[in-house]
Amino acid sequence: MTLFGLGRQKPHHYFEMAKVAWENRDQLPFAWRILTNGVCDGCALGTSGLSDWTIQGTHLCMVRLELMRLNTAPPLTPSRLTDVSSLGSCSSADLRALGRIPEPMLRRRGEAGFLFASWDEALDRIAEELRTIDPLRAAFYLTSRGITNEA
Ligand code: SF4
């Protein structure tokens, strides 16, 4: 018997799992629904709920659990983004802790930060810009995670 599975090939991350549960304590039913009905946004191995299509048994790792807060976080306070100069010294963890962006936000040239925009306005702006681009010179950045696999 080893403490928390230390020294084993697949340690049991009970302490880390408890930390994830605590971090998501305000949204536990939602987090459970994501785990049991959702797919993993951690990498491209592919899951459906808590299993995959290749190996029997539970498919779950700490990467997926540690990303859970990205889905369960409350919406950010919009005023935090009205002047982004105050965010320059924030770490990526600080920025994630601000919360989810609940609606499209727009920063126009020369403005200090972002303001909410309607979905219609945001989609119109995107379409307007795309129409001006030669399709052969257009590229889309889909995700900052696992781009090599998912692309
Ligand atoms: S290995 Fe981890 S991050 Fe990748 S799909 Fe499986 S649970 Fe998600």
Closest approach atom of ligand 1 to CA 47: 5
- Tell me which of 16, 34, 35, 45 to substitute to probe ligand 1's pocket, judged by most ligand atoms within 8 Å of the beta carbon: 45
| pLDDT at position 2 over 90 | no
Tell me how far the alpha carbon of residue 42 lies from the centroid of ligand 1, in angstroms.
5
Tell me how far the alpha carbon of residue 61 lies from the centroid of ligand 1, in angstroms.
6
How large is the average pLDDT for residues 83-107? 91
How large is the average pLDDT for residues 84-103? 90
- Percentage of the residues of the chain whose pLDDT score is greater than 70: 86
3-state secondary structure of 106: strand
> Where do the domains of the chain lie?
3-72, 78-137
- Tell me which of 34, 59, 68, 143 to substitute to probe ligand 1's pocket, judged by most ligand atoms within 8 Å of the beta carbon: 59
Identify the band that residue 16 occupies on the pLDDT scale cut at 50, 70 and 90.
very high
**What does the pLDDT read at residue 145?**
60
pTM metric for this prediction: 0.71
HSE, CB side, 13 Å, CA atoms: give it for residue 148. 0
Q: What is the pLDDT of residues 30-47, one digit of tens each?
A: 999 999 999 888 877 778
Tell me how far the alpha carbon of residue 151 lies from the centroid of ligand 1, in angstroms.
17
User: Taking a C-beta distance cutoff of 8 angstroms, is the pair 30, 68 a contact?
Assistant: no
| pLDDT at position 149 over 80 | no
User: Taking a C-beta distance cutoff of 8 angstroms, is the pair 35, 42 a contact?
Assistant: no
